[in-house]
Structure 1
Amino acid sequence: MVDGHRTFVIIGGGLAGAKAAETLRAEGFTGRVILIGDENDHPYERPPLSKGYLTGKEKRDSVFVHEPAWYAAADVELHLGQTVVSIDRGEKAVHLGDGTVLHYDKLLLATGAEPRRLEVPGTELAGVHHLRRLAHADRLSRVLGSLGRDNGTLVIAGAGWIGLEVAAAARGYGAEVTVIEPEATPLHQVIGPELGQVFAELHRDRGVRFHFGARLTEIIGHEGAVLAVRTDDGEEHPAHDVLAAIGAAPRTALAESADLELAERAHGGGISVDAALRTSDPDIYAAGDVAAAFHPLLGIRLRVEHWANALNGGPAAARSMLGQEIAYDRVPYFFSDQYDLGLEYSGWAPAGSYDQVVLRGDVGKREFIAFWLKEGRVLAGMNVNVWDVTAPIQDLIRSGARIDSETLGDPSVPLASLGK
């Protein structure tokens, strides 16, 4: 029974916001919980949008965080399809686009991120797509089915995780795929050239064409339809549809207009929060893709855009809002599925941060673990078609111990025995 003595408002109808609402109730909060989302769909998880749901292996209902009836049963007030236009920190009020004003005692910003747009001629054409929302996946799955039936071509701008996962899904439908990427290999900034070539070969084996070292500069169309794309090296590629997969930007407009502190671009942008996920306003918190949190383990501020951060960050923020002592120090984690390859990545090792890559297993068979090290310490590990090793990999990262590279690369040495 809600007693209404306190009101907690959550802006953002994604995984972080939904799990925060769930946690507030699980921790015994009896005040009002209000969840605001600018989409008409109930809160859902994003990984299936480029994986199971897009490939047709999972049904649409599988993406939702909770059954629709859960929200009423948990006394969570939903405002779906609503835009928040402003936050009044002085009055502790949230103003919605329909004129509704909601007062809060604590506020959580879980506004997520939005896909970056291609700033080239032709982006207004009907066959240009982004993939961030469920409606995008609904549309793109229909497009991929049509391309597969008609031997059509999808051009993907960007060879990051989303670009590669959509490429795999498109090939599953039978569509032709060309990926345009300015770097020399896929995932260059994430896993470096040492491992990027593995993914290039994976996709080439399935018929994907890559055009590296070039940027898409124009989308050519006729009567509203896409015909081809041009790149900055003068090449022209046939296309029936184009996907912009060039990253995402944190949705910080509300925070900025409310004069909350934002993180520097070097830290990924986003809303600056401490290890307890508090913003520069003690009654406002942020979690998920939009939050740039100080990480106690890594000793840096970073913004993580992956599923696990929303899954765990939302509950951590909820507990912090309740006054619990929180130090959010989860090892960053994400996963990807492409064809018959599955992987898990733990840690943080952006380009330029490591001085050695150690491989354990059979790279040719795509059954291996890669480790990124700095001065003998494991910064990150990625297991490819090798399972049940996430915990020992994360233990190595947490330990900060210097590890002999030959021992680390020896499959006969149990990972759990290292770093002790």
Structure 2
Amino acid sequence: MSGRAGIVIVGASLAGLRGAEALRRGGYEGPLTLVGDEPYRPYDRPPLSKHVLAGELAADATALPQLLPLRARWRLGSPATGLDRNAKIVRLADGSSLAYDTLLVATGARARRWPGEAEFAGIFTIRGRDEAADLRAALARDPRSVLIVGGGLIGCEAASCCRDLGLPVTLVDPNPTPLARALGTLVGGTLAARMRAAGVDLRPGTQVRALEGEAGQVCRARLADGGSIAADLVIVALGAVRDTGWLSEGGLAADAGGLTCDGACRALTRMGVPDPNIFAAGDVARWPNPLYGGRLIAVEHWGNAVEQAAHAARNMLNPADPQPYAHLPAFWSSQFGLNIKMVGLADGADSVAIVQGSRAAGRFLAVYGREGRTIAAVSFDEARWLPAYAERIAAGAAFPPIHDATDQPAIETRPPGFPPPRPFPASRGRVPEAAHA
């Protein structure tokens, strides 16, 4: 492909960078432009809630390596604000426009913020480099009380870092256990016990209704039950919304849950027709995953950003032979001395079984099933068998797929304990739905 305008990639993070590299590696020699809303070249985000908060790594030391010469034009610090599909133009915040022949949308996601967050100092989210640097500086000033709102992955990692720093931490979550939506309450209960042993004041089943302040500084959280929690530093960890607002006038099937694509990573219009000139990859993309029955999913994991960007680039360069994208989601996390690794998607599971180790020992491998099929597995310091289960998940093997393995306990199948689905999206100006779910 050698159009005059060339390829424009909107999103200068992991998916955008790896997509650009895949285009060059695939033989594309034309004009290439990368647009980023931040003034920085692509950097790695997972260390922000781990090593940067802990003070082990400076926020500006997280740059991603560039694996080959891109010969690209960089437009950084000016986010995309609009898309004209008919004219094939992307509008930027600085008033300029970029023409494209083919467009790759890789804008990722933004942290879900608390309504009125800017009203008080001391309220933070963790998504970008500057946010992590600001939060690290605030933690270094030894706040008297840290409140974390949200018991998902980021909230749990932040709590672990704060306890490692010796800071008093309260974690409030409306669910019965941390990571309840990703792992269920049976497995999440193990993490809850580990948190409490580390000194976290864990408040499950608790909702924050409002954050209050004095003299412009946050000082407490008002709870739904009428109680309150003192806090001079609040970390809001309520998940993310996909960065699709700039696509609102482009006629694409995009909302806070992502940009809907077909199996070949081509963006769909609101009429359900793929636009042959627009592709998507990374956190922002929502596509039918054949490993999960064609169910539409969006994955906020590092590995998916890399693999989907490469797949989208391949299809951009070979429009006559589009290939479907199949990906087995995977993530890992280090917190409270645990190494947690997961493959597959456990939400929707109707069964879970401990197939290695034991929850009592805090070292185990759990496998999730749905309607007799294995769909996910998670390890707590017990990852030796995880690759074998990943193969069975990808193959759609029966649940549980491995019997009589070395050191395998007697397998008991139990309900995983997932909370009921939450309403989505949140209403403007109200407490985010993730705070209630």
TM-score scaled by length of structure 1: 0.89
- Contact 1:376/1:405 (<8 A) preserved: no
Q: Note the alpha carbon deviations across 1:14-57, whole angstroms, 9 max, x for none.
A: 11111101111111210111000000111112111111222223
- 1:71-220 equivalence runs, <5 A: 73-119=69-115, 124-147=119-142, 152-220=144-212
The question of 1:288 aligning with 2:295 is answered: no
Cα distance in 2 between the residues matched to 1:404 and 1:393: 9
Q: Distance in 1 between matches of 2:400 and 2:368?
A: 13
Q: Which residue of 2 aligns with 1:418?
A: none
Say if 2:261 and 2:286, in contact at 8 Å, map to a contact too. Answer: yes
Letter matched to residue 364 of structure 1 = A
Query: What secondary structure, in the 3-state scheme, does the structure 2 residue paired with 1:288 have?
Result: coil
Letter in 2 for 1:88: D
Higher helix fraction: Structure 1 or Structure 2?
A: 1
Structure 2 CA distance, aligned partners of 1:56 and 1:354? 41
Aligned equivalent of 2:414: none
Cα offsets for 1:97-116 (capped at 9, x unmatched) = 22322211110111111111
Report 1:226-241 matches (<5 A): 226-241=218-233
- Listed one character per residue, the Cα deviations across residues 250-299 of structure 1 (whole Å, up to 9, x for unaligned) are 11112222011237xxxx82111011110121100111111111112212
Gaps of 5+ in 1: 414-420
**CA-atom RMSD in angstroms:** 2.3
Alpha carbons 1:358, 1:372 under 8 Å: kept: no
Q: Which amino acid aligns with 2:53?
A: L
Aligned in 2, Cα 1:191/1:3: closer, same or farther, shift over 3 Å? closer
Verify: 1:256 aligned to 2:248, yes or no.
yes
> 2: distance between equivalents of 1:17 and 1:122?
29
Greater Cα offset, 333-342 or 402-411? 402-411
Q: Deviation digits for residues 164-211 of structure 1, max 9, x if unmatched?
A: 000011111111100111111111111111011111111111110011
Three-state SS of the structure 1 residue aligned to 2:265 is coil
Letter in structure 2 aligned against 1:349: A
Q: Supply the distance in 2 between the matched residues of 1:52 and 1:335 (Cα, whole angstroms).
A: 14
* 5+ residue gaps, structure 2: 269-274, 410-437
Q: Give the Å deviation of 1:410.
A: 6.1
TM-score, structure 2 as length reference: 0.86
| Correspondence list, 1:396-411, <5 A | 396-404=392-400, 407=403, 411=407
Is the 8 Å Cα contact of residues 92 and 104 (structure 1) preserved in structure 2?
yes
Taking the aligned partners of 2:137 and 2:122, their CA distance within structure 1 comes to 12
CA 1:241/1:409 → structure 2, altered by over 3 Å: closer, same or farther? farther
Question: Which residue identity does 2:111 align to in structure 1?
Answer: P
Query: Shift of the alpha carbon at 1:406?
Result: 8.3
**Number of equivalences:** 400
Distance in 1, matches of 2:206 and 2:44, equals 33
Q: C-alpha distance in 2, partners of 1:339/1:145?
A: 20
* In structure 1, distance between residues paired with 2:89 and 2:106: 16
Residue 342 of structure 2, aligned match among 336, 341, 345: 345
Which residue of structure 2 aligns with residue 332 of structure 1? 329
Q: Give the CA deviation at 1:395.
A: 0.5
- Encode CA deviations 1:336-378: one digit per residue, 9 max, x unaligned: 110321111110121x432333342132332211111124321
Q: Which residue of structure 1 lines up, in the alignment, with residue 16 of structure 2?
A: 17
Q: What amino acid is the match of 1:43?
A: P
Distance 2:78 2:65 in 1: 19
Identity of counterpart residues, as a percentage? 34
Instruction: Report how far residue 403 of structure 1 moved.
Output: 4.1
- The alignment status of 1:313 with 2:312, answered yes or no, reads no
One-letter amino acid of the structure 2 residue matched with residue 86 of structure 1: G
The answer for the alignment partner of 1:56 in structure 2 is 55
Decide which moves more: 6-15 or 90-99: 90-99
Q: Is the 8 A contact 2:357 2:408 kept in 1?
A: no
Q: What is residue 417 of structure 1 aligned with on the other side? A: none
In structure 1, C-alpha distance between the alignment counterparts of 2:332 and 2:229, rounded to whole Å: 31
- Judged with a 3 Å threshold, the aligned counterparts in structure 2 of structure 1 residues 241 and 336 are, in CA distance, closer, same or farther, namely same
